[in-house]
Amino acid sequence: MTATAKLLMELSNLDALPGQEAQVQAALQETIQGSVTKDAFGNLYFGDLQTTKKKIALYAHMDEVGFFVHRITEDGFVYFYPIGGWWGHVVLGQQVRATCRKNGAVLEGLVGTLPKTSHKMSEVVPLSEMYIDFGVQSKAELEAAGLQVGDMILPNTAAKKSFNQKKIIGKALDDRVACTVMAQIKNQVETQNIEVIGVGTVQEEAGTRGSKVAAAQVEADINIVIDVANGKDTPKAAEFTNRIQGNGPGLVLADKTALGNLKLLDYCKEIAEKNQIAWQYDLLGGGGTDAGSVQLYAGKPTLVFCVPVRYCHSWNSIVAISDVEATIKLLSAVIRSLDEGGCDLEQF
């Protein structure tokens, strides 16, 4: 198993609801070499924020979509509130784990499957009507175990490789893929003329909140936001097949919150072709990323690198290891090229 695949699987297995990112924060601080700074909001900065050199920032959000405890009934059923985009079809009957912030205990349960008489079989059951069954008889039993309102609830899954060893299946690949890419680049790429700042942001899935704070702390000359989006290469996923797994990272022309800097995009494209690294054009028509916040802070050149991931915002997603490694290779080559070229970042 490659170091990249191993790290991604380890990060996938961690739990980090927006606002409760401690597990991923700790893992990245242990993994990434060199200095690290943490702000009051919880964002992490790997690199020298006080440098007089030009700065390239790599943004990766540490949180994931999930739920928190909303209400506990007297007979021990737990109603939950979603954070991030969830589709009811993928939730019923799934196994979950709740982390008690009071004592660190992890409680396993499942989302109850409702009786057929509750809803028409053609309907999507609203999340507000679903509940979690932890196999207890009372609210008091859950409270004695440490569970309370606000505790995070996430899919109870474990990352694994596909049978052909080419892909990773697991939860939270949005955006542990980016965390892996950022960590590997920080540990592998040495520069002389520029400072590379790895930024682990919080609360992206709750409205790109962390990046609004982080952009002002970093004040980078170039911003690269690393994220993922649903691959459109599965049956009936889209009329036009794009964001294809195995074709490398997407260089994003636009998403709903930001326009990619085309000069920077073309530069990355040229580096990719020069080094024979797989890449593809992308357009995120259905959502936004941290780029929207970062780009609007000071208007500095910003570009999103998007890794194709199938089945985002569900219990298990799939990513091609080759796409993750191609993203690392391409970003590393871009950084080295800028560093060796005298760091004329004003060209963008």
Taking the C-alpha atoms of residue 136 and residue 121, their distance in angstroms, rounded to an integer, is 28
Query: Scanning the structure block, which residue is given the tokens 């219990």?
Result: 315
- 38 is written with which tokens? 């943490």
Taking the C-alpha atoms of residue 47 and residue 114, their distance in angstroms, rounded to an integer, is 50
The three-class DSSP label of residue 175 is helix
Residues designated catalytic: 204
The three-class DSSP label of residue 319 is strand
Q: Is the peptide bond before 175 cis (omega within 30 degrees of 0)?
A: yes
Taking the C-alpha atoms of residue 249 and residue 306, their distance in angstroms, rounded to an integer, is 5
Give me the residues paired with residue 259 across strands: 254
Question: Would you give the distance in Å from CA 299 to the centre of its chain?
Answer: 23
Q: Is 323 annotated as a binding residue?
A: no
Q: Is 273 annotated as a binding residue?
A: no
DSSP for 66-98, written as a single string: EEEEEEE-TTSEEEEEEES---GGGTTT-EEEE
- 317 is written with which tokens? 């997603």
Write down the H helix ranges in 146-208: 173-188
Q: Which amino acid is at 52?
A: T
Q: Is 239 annotated as a binding residue?
A: no
Q: Given 3-state DSSP classes, what are the helix, strand and coil percentages for the chain, each rounded to the nearest 5? A: 30, 25, 40
Q: Is 227 annotated as a binding residue?
A: yes
Residues in the chain: 348
Give me the residues paired with residue 49 across strands: none
Q: Is 175 annotated as a binding residue?
A: no
Q: In angstroms, how far apart are the furthest CA atoms of the chain?
A: 69
Taking the C-alpha atoms of residue 153 and residue 108, their distance in angstroms, rounded to an integer, is 9
Q: Please give the annotated binding residues, written as ranges.
A: 61, 174, 205, 227, 313
Q: Please give the annotated binding residues for Zn(2+), written as ranges.
A: 61, 174, 205, 227, 313
